[in-house]
Every structure is written in C-alpha cells, then in structure tokens.
Amino acid sequence: MPIDEPVRKGTDQLALDVAAVPGQAAALRDVLANWALERGLPRELAEDLKLTAYEAMTNVVKHAYPDGTDDNRMTVTAAHENGHIKITVADEGRWRDGRRPDGGRGLPIIRAFAPEASVTSTTTGTIVRLAWPCPPA
C-alpha cells in the first residue's frame, strides 16, 4: 500500500497524516527507519525505532477507532533535534480497550525498546512520543 506523500519541513523533520489502517503502519515503519538511518541513527537503534513506531501505529489502528474505517487518521512526525531522533504518533480517536488473551504487548514493547517513551491519552486523542539519542549529522 503506498503511503500518503510526506510533508517535509526541512531535512531534519518529516510529518505524515495517513489513514489509520494496518497497511499504512506497515509502510511507515520502513519509511521512519530509513529516514533515521539517513540522519545517523545506528542500525540497531533504527530497528528498535522501526519496531516501537510500528507498535504505536498498530495501537492507533486497533484501539483508537472502533469502526476501523479509512476515514480515521493518524499523524506521524519525525525530527532530528537536540541530539535525538524523536518520533510522535498521534490520533484523534478514543481509547477502546481491545485486550484479548493474546494481546497487550504493544506498550511494554515500546517501553522496552525506546530509551524515552511517553503516552498521553485524553478524550480528544492519544500521543505517543519516542526518542533515541543520535548525534547531529
């Protein structure tokens, strides 16, 4: 599935507003990892970024929008600033507890593989912020 065209805010920033569907999350994880590699993030950390960003985006698809339609959106941003690669994944949905016996691993994975991770949920959406140390290029 092709991703929506990224909005570039200079070489060290990327912003995308895409449909909150599984295909977009799968495509974007590679875009984000490659973008971070181009900015000097070590390959091992780029793999961690790929995994955690994907988990955050998958959580949007599974939990933020109960109806699962293509009208639902998520915003993904990336920035290389202050010696860090920073990723945010945001939605305007409402958290839906989708716990299943085989589920519930997304947030623990995010917290295990991102040196800095925070989740802020309100009635107007959720924002996941992730960061990895990366010296300026």
Each residue of 31-85: pLDDT tens digit?
Answer: 999 999 999 999 999 999 999 999 999 999 888 876 666 589 999 999 999 999 9
Distances (CA, A) of 3 to 15, 93, 119: 12, 20, 24
Domain that holds residue 90: 7-133
Q: How many domains does the chain fold into?
A: 1
Domain for residue 114, yes or no?
yes
Whether the per-residue pLDDT at 137 is higher than 70: the answer is no
pLDDT of 1: 44
Per the domain annotation, does 71 fall within a domain? yes
Question: Residue 36 domain-assigned?
Answer: yes
Residue 20 contacts by C-beta under 8 Å, 6 or more apart in sequence? Answer: 57, 60, 61, 64, 65, 72, 73, 74, 91, 93
Residue 101 lies in a domain: yes
